[in-house]
Structure 1
Amino acid sequence: MPLTLHAAIIPNWLQSLGATARLLDRAEQWSGEAGMSEGEILGARLADDMLPLAYQFTSCCNHSAYAIERCREGHFTPQTNPPPMKFAELRAMVQEAIGTLTAVTPQELEDIAGNDMIFSFGETMRLEFTVQDFLLSFSNPNLFFHAATAYDILRMKGMPLSKRDFMGAARVKQG
């Protein structure tokens, strides 16, 4: 049986966003227990030239649900608004992304998989893809990069986490 584009990405993205939602919940509780303010933890960075934790959570949504929305139009431009600096706002964003992905049907993705897709940033950067290649070779690795970076920032700050916290709920065989 051939693997559909939907089967290749949507369940994995939902798994990752589910883990991201749990990381947010745990980070909020843990940061309070550790005496860190919301701004301190959400503003934390792995390195000075990297973007903060809040941006990492936002980018998980941008490279999943927002990417799907933009594929419908054929053009993705990164959102440059500052990320929300409140756990509640980030949580709502992740939940909205989960809802968006849950509503995507296999047929919808099959119908647009071969369509043209452009990624542009600023005046000079323009990459041309098909929707399928954009989702598989651009958005997919970006989602996992930002999810891993969020996990890494929390670990760096001292939050007790395990690999399972990053992976989320695996889709094990039932029955």
Structure 2
Amino acid sequence: MSISVYDQTIGTMGPMLKNLDLIVSKAESWVNTNEIDPDAILKARLAPDMLTFIHQIRIATDVAKGAAARLSGLEPPVWEDNESTFVDVHTRIGKALEYFAKFEPSQFDGAEKKAIALKLPFGTLDMSGQQYVLQFVLPNFYFHVTTAYNILRHNGLAIGKFDFLNGGKRPGE
């Protein structure tokens, strides 16, 4: 069985971004109901040297939009990193989903063989499109989505595996 690059990227990250947005909605509601300072969650981190919840969302959406652009032969759009509220976080995730909606599977034809030169602060990673997807995009995306989820769980939000995997729906719902 062959899985297209479109399905490996847009097809997996799109639903996860929707689940992430639902988790953010639960966090926002929980903060409001319990009269918690939103910054206590938005600026929370798991360890002193880790990035904040907001940064986890930024990086997850940056990885997603960057992958879609690079693999389809486009330049990734640049978005300001100025989110400071739950509304801003929802807007950023929504923007990523809107960006994904512009792509057609045919734009990813042959992307697995495309040469990708990913410029990072410590140097450039040169790899094929397939290596980029499997060794950078998906692990990096899931790392940041999972870390955002874990920050919320660590701070007391009652969410579980099905919130992460299936937008809160249990099998059969």
TM-score tier, shorter chain, comes to 0.7 to 0.9
Query: 1:131 Cα shift?
Result: 2.4
Cα contact 1:9–1:136 (8 A) shared by 2: no
Cα contact 1:21–1:94 (8 A) shared by 2: yes
Rounded Cα–Cα distance in structure 2 between residues aligned with 1:100 and 1:80: 12
Query: 1:81 Cα shift?
Result: 6.2
List 4+ stretches of structure 1 deviating above 6 A: none
Name 1:165's counterpart in structure 2: 163
Q: Which SS does the other structure have where 1:120 is aligned?
A: strand
Name 2:105's counterpart in structure 1: 106
Q: Which SS does the other structure have where 1:129 is aligned?
A: strand
Q: Which runs of 5+ in 2 are unaligned?
A: 169-173
Q: Match of 2:13, as an amino acid?
A: W
Query: 1:113 Cα shift?
Result: 3.3
Q: TM-score, normalised by structure 1?
A: 0.84
CA shift in 2, pair 1:74/1:118, >3 Å: farther
Q: Which SS does the other structure have where 1:113 is aligned?
A: helix
Name 1:140's counterpart in structure 2: 138
Q: Choose 134-143 or 46-55, whichever is displaced more.
A: 134-143
Q: TM-score, normalised by structure 2?
A: 0.85
Rounded Cα–Cα distance in structure 2 between residues aligned with 1:127 and 1:97: 24
Equivalences for residues 52-67 of structure 1 within 5 A: 52-67=52-67
Rounded Cα–Cα distance in structure 2 between residues aligned with 1:62 and 1:25: 20
Q: Match of 1:69, as an amino acid?
A: A
- RMSD between aligned alpha carbons? 2.3
Name 1:173's counterpart in structure 2: none
**Identity among equivalent pairs (%):** 23
Query: 1:125 Cα shift?
Result: 1.5
Q: Match of 1:126, as an amino acid?
A: T
Q: Match of 2:37, as an amino acid?
A: S
In the alignment of these two chains, the number of paired residues is 167
Q: Choose 99-108 or 19-28, whichever is displaced more.
A: 99-108
Q: Which runs of 5+ in 1 are unaligned?
A: 171-175
Query: 1:54 Cα shift?
Result: 0.5
Rounded Cα–Cα distance in structure 2 between residues aligned with 1:68 and 1:114: 15
Q: Match of 1:157, as an amino acid?
A: N
The one-character-per-residue Cα deviations of 1:94-136 (angstroms, maximum 9, x if unpaired) are 11111222222111111433222111223x4211012232122
